[in-house]
A and B are shown apart, each in its own frame.
Chain A
Amino acid sequence: MIKTIAIVGSGTMGTGIAQAAALAHFDVLLNDASAEILKKAMERIKEELRKGVSRGQHTATEATEALSRIHPRKGFNDLGEADLVIEAAVEELDVKKEIFKKLDDIVAPAAILATNTSSLSVTAIASLTKTPESVVGMHFFNPATAMKLVEIVRGAQTSDETVKLASGVATKMRKTPVICRDTPGFIVNRIARPFYGEALRLLGDQVASVEEIDRIVRVEGGFKMGPFELMDLIGIDVNFAVTRSIFEQFFTEPRFRPHPIQRQMVEAGTLGRKTKQGFYTYK
């Protein structure tokens, strides 16, 4: 039975997950190495919970109770009582490995260790613990308070029981868990690749213009956004980095090959909406 969830890393994802967990009546230990970041994280959660009340997502009482369930914990050693740890630190394998090595010594043997990685190998992260069968991926999507999907990633050594418990936590957080094997890009980041990659090929081969491809995909296909609008929203640099990572993890499988247009736009600094210039110009 999972009652207490520790969240390691109090950035955007960490705070979003903490809030969703607290609203689902879990006790939350919110951790960050920096007291400053931790303080800001608590303020952000307070603000978000307040916004949620005005949007009618929960009552003021629920918000107050949720906030009272989140306990900031600066020290790593204060996470020992957690039944589940969700690591939401920076997306660097060495950093995550270090965290899991430490967690392994702190938490109870029965505790589950989860990583919120979107691109790294759950199996590699698990390999440094004494209990790789208790390590699982829990890939939340940004913003974690609103996005319903959680990819439950089964590493090569993850047990059925661990997968079941992690799925159960996601369901209790009113999310929709899907189970996938630990393979590059998991489900979403992998299967979405051709949506961008093939649109870039069509553009590069002069089959149609940016505007025409987006219009066709929206009006004919019923998609909310065309591939180029979506790339501008995500950020050309972010999209390029994800594509590249999956391409390399599949040992240069041609289906995932990035397109030179992406690299050139990154070189030019036209990264989409955030720089006011991408495939489209924004004011």
Chain B
Amino acid sequence: MVRTRLCILGESPLVEEYASLCLNKGFDVSFRFNAEGKKETNVKAPRGARKITRPLKAVDLALELTNIGTEAKQRNLIELDAILTARTPIISSSVTVSVSEQSSWLRHPQRLMGIGALPSLLEGGLIEFARSSVTDEGVLKSADQFAKQLGKESAHVQDSVGLVLPRILCMLVNEAYFALTENVALPDDIDTAMRLGTNYPLGPVEWAERLGVQQVQAVMMALHRTLGEDRYRVAPMLQRTAALAGFNVRVPSRNGLSK
């Protein structure tokens, strides 16, 4: 059997999550973390994957998984576009930048496919994809094939920042952090209330921890930027928590519920 040669560029923990699943499914994986930030250098490399400094030309598929640093994302995509043959598909996370906008950076935009990549979502049984109006039909098939190889269903949605699930989840998390900002209830009580009252699989603060508060913030800022509505502004408590995310605090400060 010929192993699919896959190159993954991007940020932690998305790179590790995709690399370990793809390795598990028999892919030949090479990867590179975005250089910026000391956090990335502490990350343990996925075992069995090759760490690279430059993308290899001989790959069948490339993944770009950056949601937070748009400049790093742009650099990665331009680099992949220059090195890979024009027909090699690039699947790129499009939760904070639309596929259309990313296409404008490339010489060969017909190879670009968007994916709804956020930390922990690979635990689900479905992958969301979005195309631009210039994406080749063949690339759609490659995307479906990729999902199938990972044992997932696929869904194709319109090219819109946040796609479907990341947008709904981030909005739930953001609303919970507005409630925390206003000291409506304690984080654990909010999670308990949503699990028991609405039967959600996780409470919104638990979702925030799984997805990463900085990732949620990045999605909200992208929605706010592209849709231009106050509806999508980042909750103050989410901003503060995201700024302190390196210190692993759940909610940086609270005043208690007493009056």
Q: Which residues of A pack against B, CB within 8 Å?
A: 141, 147-149, 151, 154, 156, 160, 176, 178-181, 183, 186-188, 190-195, 197-199, 202, 205-208, 212-213, 215-217, 219-225, 227, 254-255, 257
Task: Note all chain A residues with C-beta closer than 8 A to B167.
Answer: 198, 202
Q: Does B193 contact A (CB under 8 A)?
A: yes
Q: Are B175 and A190 in contact (CB under 8 A)?
A: yes
Q: Are B171 and A194 in contact (CB under 8 A)?
A: yes
How far does the Cβ of B189 sit from chain A's closest Cβ, in whole Å?
A: 4
User: Nearest CB to that of A175 among chain B residues?
Assistant: B196
**Which of A156, A191, A207, A208 contacts B179, CB < 8 Å?**
A191
Q: Which of B3-11, B60-68, B180-188 contacts A (4 or more CB under 8 A)?
A: B180-188
Q: Are B124 and A207 in contact (CB under 8 A)?
A: no
Q: Does B172 contact A (CB under 8 A)?
A: yes
Q: Are A257 and B201 in contact (CB under 8 A)?
A: no
User: Nearest CB to that of A203 among chain B residues?
Assistant: B164
**Which of B155, B165, B197, B231 contacts A187, CB < 8 Å?**
B197
| Most interface-central of B153, B179, B201 (chain A CB within 10 A) | B179
How far does the Cβ of B210 sit from chain A's closest Cβ, in whole Å?
A: 11
Q: Are A178 and B189 in contact (CB under 8 A)?
A: yes
Q: Does B199 contact A (CB under 8 A)?
A: yes
User: Nearest CB to that of A227 among chain B residues?
Assistant: B168
Q: Indicate whether A254 sits within 8 Å of B257 (C-beta atoms), given known contacts A149-B193, A202-B167.
A: no
How far does the Cβ of B138 sit from chain A's closest Cβ, in whole Å?
A: 22
Q: Which residues of B pack against A, CB within 8 Å?
A: 116, 121, 123-128, 153, 155, 157-158, 160, 163-165, 167-169, 171-172, 174-176, 178-179, 182-186, 189-190, 192-194, 196-202, 204, 229-231, 257-259
Task: Note all chain A residues with C-beta closer than 8 A to B163.
Answer: 207
User: What is the bound-complex CA distance between A254 and B179, given in angstroms?
Assistant: 15
**Which of B155, B190, B199, B202 contacts A191, CB < 8 Å?**
B190
Q: Indicate whether A221 sits within 8 Å of B165 (C-beta atoms), given known contacts A181-B183, A188-B198, A190-B179.
A: yes
Task: Note all chain A residues with C-beta closer than 8 A to B123.
Answer: 222
Task: Note all chain A residues with C-beta closer than 8 A to B193.
Answer: 149, 151, 178, 180, 187-188, 191
Q: Are B201 and A181 in contact (CB under 8 A)?
A: no
Q: Are B168 and A254 in contact (CB under 8 A)?
A: no
Q: Are A212 and B157 in contact (CB under 8 A)?
A: yes
Q: Indicate whether A206 sits within 8 Å of B192 (C-beta atoms), given known contacts A178-B185, A187-B179.
A: no
| Most interface-central of B126, B163, B164 (chain A CB within 10 A) | B164
Q: Indicate whether A188 sits within 8 Å of B197 (C-beta atoms), given known contacts A198-B167, A217-B168, A255-B175.
A: yes
Q: Are B185 and A187 in contact (CB under 8 A)?
A: yes
User: What is the bound-complex CA distance between A215 and B126, given in angstroms?
Assistant: 9
User: What is the bound-complex CA distance between A151 and B175, given in angstroms?
Assistant: 18
27 contacts between A and B (CB under 8 A): A180-B193, A181-B182, A187-B190, A188-B193, A192-B172, A192-B194, A192-B197, A194-B168, A194-B171, A194-B172, A195-B168, A195-B171, A195-B172, A199-B168, A202-B164, A202-B168, A206-B158, A215-B155, A219-B126, A220-B125, A220-B126, A221-B124, A222-B202, A223-B200, A225-B199, A255-B178, A257-B231
Complex A-B, nearest 5 residue pairs according to Cβ-Cβ distance, in ascending order: A194-B171, A188-B197, A178-B189, A149-B196, A220-B124
Q: Are B199 and A179 in contact (CB under 8 A)?
A: no
Task: Note all chain A residues with C-beta closer than 8 A to B231.
Answer: 254-255, 257
Task: Note all chain B residues with C-beta closer than 8 A to A202.
Answer: 160, 164, 167-168
Beyond A149-B196, A198-B168, A199-B168, list 11 extra A-B contacts (CB 8 Å). Answer: A178-B190, A187-B194, A202-B167, A215-B126, A215-B153, A219-B124, A219-B153, A221-B169, A225-B199, A254-B231, A255-B175
Q: Indicate whether A181 sits within 8 Å of B155 (C-beta atoms), given known contacts A213-B164, A221-B124.
A: no
Q: Indicate whether A179 sits within 8 Å of B157 (C-beta atoms), given known contacts A187-B197, A220-B124, A255-B175.
A: no
Q: Are B197 and A198 in contact (CB under 8 A)?
A: no
User: What is the bound-complex CA distance between A199 and B128, given in angstroms?
Assistant: 15
User: What is the bound-complex CA distance between A224 and B184, given in angstroms?
Assistant: 27
How far does the Cβ of B76 sit from chain A's closest Cβ, in whole Å?
A: 25
User: What is the bound-complex CA distance between A202 and B231, given in angstroms?
Assistant: 14
Q: Indicate whether A183 sits within 8 Å of B184 (C-beta atoms), given known contacts A207-B164, A216-B155, A254-B231.
A: yes
User: What is the bound-complex CA distance between A115 and B40, given in angstroms?
Assistant: 52
